[in-house]
Chain A
Amino acid sequence: MGAPAMTQTTPAHLEYVLRLGDAALIHGQRLSEWCGHAPVLEEDLALANMALDFVGQARMLLSHAGVLEGKGRDEDTLAFLRHEGQYRNPTLCEMPNTDFAHTMIKGFLLGSFNLLMWSRLCGSSDEALAAIAAKSLKEARYHVEHTGDWVIRLGDGTEESHRRAQAALDMLWPYTNELFAANPTDDAAAAAGVGPAWSDLAEDWEKAVLAVLKHATLTVPARTPFQSYGKFGRHSEHLGHLLAVMQHLPRSFPGATW
């Protein structure tokens, strides 16, 4: 990817790309945990498909981040050899699968965000990022459609599925505050034309999400003062366990290539 390695990369630019890469990495890792255990065979294939999309996005984004950083770190060094506090994914990505409702609600909330994000990033001043966005946008359309259909089926299905979908929404909704929290990284990235300030996406996101939740007969939880800080490197307790599993081999065999 023709990243401008010779021009100066700002820390905000790197941080912005790392955030996208880590979000894809951690969400993909969670989705991949379903493989072989889904409620129905077709869903095993669909979940694996989405996991593959996110792992693919993570590879492109982390490779690009490595180039921007210019310290010779590749996708795997970034994916496997950082400490917990160095990951920049929103906390929502690392939340456990819990049940199928949690996975679909989470996938839908994140997917709707990604859809807006990639469509804006197609016009990024970072050409490599714009190219990744163009590819990822197509994938995000499918993710939103697939998870959105399930949100509706579960919300407007049986009493039990409604109860589970509502519980998942209640649990995960507060973590969406974090997506839109304003911060200097976003301001700098937006000023440089790298990508939108995430807070700018809040209104469109909410509109898109609420329409589906309404169709699903789910009650949108009231906003609370709850804040999480994953994208700033302060995560939930869940991330450490996810990383312990994911990083196990590269950390156990230092210097090995696979």
Chain B
Amino acid sequence: MYTQALDIPPGEQPKRTPDAVENAAYQAEFDARIDAGATIEAKDWMPEAYRKTLVRQISQHAHSEIVGMLPEGNWISRAPSLKRKAILLAKVQDEGGHGLYLYAAAETLGVSRDDLTEALLSGKAKYSSIFNYPTLNWADVGVIGWLVDGAAIMNQIPLCKCSYGPYARAMVRVCKEESFHQRQGYDALLAMMGGTDEQRELVQDAVNRWWWPSLMMFGPHDADSPNSGQSMRWGIKRISNDDLRQKFVDATVKQAEVLGVTLPDPELKWNEARGHYDFAAIDWDEFWNVVNGHGQCNVDRLAARVKAWEDGAWVREAAVAHADKQAAREKAAA
């Protein structure tokens, strides 16, 4: 995973800093490069607002990968076969790896991983709100792979061509692994759908709970996404939230049919004139409630990250202390 709602928090318009104004010539050169579809690298001059937008987006994305380890991690100890346990462990490990590349990409913009972690733990930084939903049965693991990783891929494929080089390159690697996750999730669901009635009920229950939150992952409607326009101009965002969401719905309906599950939307139907599936209105109140901290698991997820960080403090201190001792010993011996 996992980007969502690239413009959260809403209404925070990037400002032109004095710095950017002072560098009008650089700005013109930057704009020309963006218009030509060229890639911006870490060493290149960039407007402060562009840098800030990227730091916010990349760090939110990194945090989402890390927090995203928790809901599925919840099932590692209970995976129903050794093969599924290994697949799930590897998947959750991949998500940690994605977090690592993304923090590294953010660091190229002059921020430190420790500062970003601090922002997450203090509740200042956001992460994808999909992870504030609970994983309640084993099929949730498969459904997350299918729908949540699936939505993430839709969101992230355009980012492989994002104007900022280090982010774009991280996304290429991440997207490959996400599509693998999606296939494995779908495969786990196929196995369950081919099993007993009880197993099929688990899958349907999980689909019912994850369908709408997955659609919310694409963020607010275009009309309610104040930052999208600027991100589009900067080549950070290539396709609008609503277009991505529609693409996801269109692709997923057929997969649901093959699987034999019902998507929980009575209004979902093919619209010949549009050439797309129509679907019911999204409950944006629920979305904003979860974004603003009132989802079922917001408190638990953050508490789990804080606990891991605090419980690990003595370990990190020990590593530093040992390295310092080693360095002092080597110096004394030299």
A41-B196 contact given A153-B322, A161-B314, CB 8 Å threshold: no
Question: Is residue A35 contacting chain B, with contact meaning CB distance below 8 A?
Answer: yes
Asked whether, in the complex, the Cβ of B316 is within 8 Å of the Cβ of A35, the reply is no
A39-B93 contact given A52-B86, A55-B86, A76-B82, CB 8 Å threshold: no
Contacts of A158 in B (CB 8 A): 314, 317-318, 321
Per-residue contact bits, chain B 92-120, to A (CB 8 Å; 1 contact, 0 not): 11001101100100000000000000000
Asked whether, in the complex, the Cβ of A161 is within 8 Å of the Cβ of B85, the reply is no
Asked whether, in the complex, the Cβ of B82 is within 8 Å of the Cβ of A253, the reply is no
Residue of B whose beta carbon sits closest to that of A78: B82
Contacts of B73 in A (CB 8 A): 35-37
Asked whether, in the complex, the Cβ of A39 is within 8 Å of the Cβ of B138, the reply is no
A59-B83 contact given A157-B319, A161-B315, CB 8 Å threshold: yes
Contacts of A164 in B (CB 8 A): 314
Please report A residues at the B interface, Cβ cutoff 8 Å: 25, 29, 32-33, 35-45, 48-49, 51-52, 55-56, 58-59, 62, 75-76, 79-80, 99-100, 152-154, 156-158, 160-161, 164, 245-246, 248-250, 253, 255-258
Asked whether, in the complex, the Cβ of B66 is within 8 Å of the Cβ of A41, the reply is yes
Shortest distance from the beta carbon of B112 to any chain A beta carbon, whole Å: 14
**Using a CB-CB cutoff of 8 Å, which residues 163-217 of chain B contact chain A?**
188, 191-192, 195-196, 198-199
Asked whether, in the complex, the Cβ of B78 is within 8 Å of the Cβ of A245, the reply is yes
Question: Is residue B89 contacting chain A, with contact meaning CB distance below 8 A?
Answer: yes
Per-residue contact bits, chain B 291-334, to A (CB 8 Å; 1 contact, 0 not): 00000000000001001110111111111011001000000000
Q: Give the A-B contact count at a CB cut-off of 8 A.
A: 142
Interface size on B (CB < 8 Å)? 48
A49 to B96, CA, bound (A): 11
Residue of B whose beta carbon sits closest to that of A163: B314
Shortest distance from the beta carbon of A255 to any chain B beta carbon, whole Å: 7
A243 to B53, CA, bound (A): 48
A36-B304 contact given A41-B96, A42-B100, A255-B196, CB 8 Å threshold: yes
Which listed residue (B99, B138, B192) contacts A41, Cβ 8 A? B99
Asked whether, in the complex, the Cβ of A100 is within 8 Å of the Cβ of B315, the reply is yes
Asked whether, in the complex, the Cβ of A156 is within 8 Å of the Cβ of B325, the reply is yes
Asked whether, in the complex, the Cβ of B84 is within 8 Å of the Cβ of A49, the reply is no
Shortest distance from the beta carbon of B319 to any chain A beta carbon, whole Å: 5
A249 to B311, CA, bound (A): 30
Contacts of A152 in B (CB 8 A): 322
Residue of B whose beta carbon sits closest to that of A152: B322
Residue of A whose beta carbon sits closest to that of B84: A258
A258-B80 contact given A36-B308, A37-B304, A160-B314, CB 8 Å threshold: yes
Asked whether, in the complex, the Cβ of A49 is within 8 Å of the Cβ of B321, the reply is no
Which listed residue (A40, A58, A156) contacts B315, Cβ 8 A? A40
Shortest distance from the beta carbon of A216 to any chain B beta carbon, whole Å: 10
A245-B315 contact given A36-B308, A37-B304, CB 8 Å threshold: no
Shortest distance from the beta carbon of B243 to any chain A beta carbon, whole Å: 33
Most buried by B among A38, A39, A56, A253: A39
18 A-B residue pairings within 8 Å (CB atoms): A25-B82, A32-B77, A32-B85, A39-B308, A48-B92, A49-B93, A52-B89, A55-B85, A55-B86, A59-B82, A80-B81, A158-B317, A161-B318, A248-B78, A249-B138, A258-B81, A258-B138, A258-B191
Please provide the 10 A-B residue pairs with the shortest distance between their CB atoms, ordered closest to farther. A39-B312, A157-B318, A161-B318, A249-B80, A48-B93, A39-B315, A36-B69, A36-B73, A258-B80, A153-B322
Contacts of B308 in A (CB 8 A): 36-39
Question: Is residue B90 contacting chain A, with contact meaning CB distance below 8 A?
Answer: yes
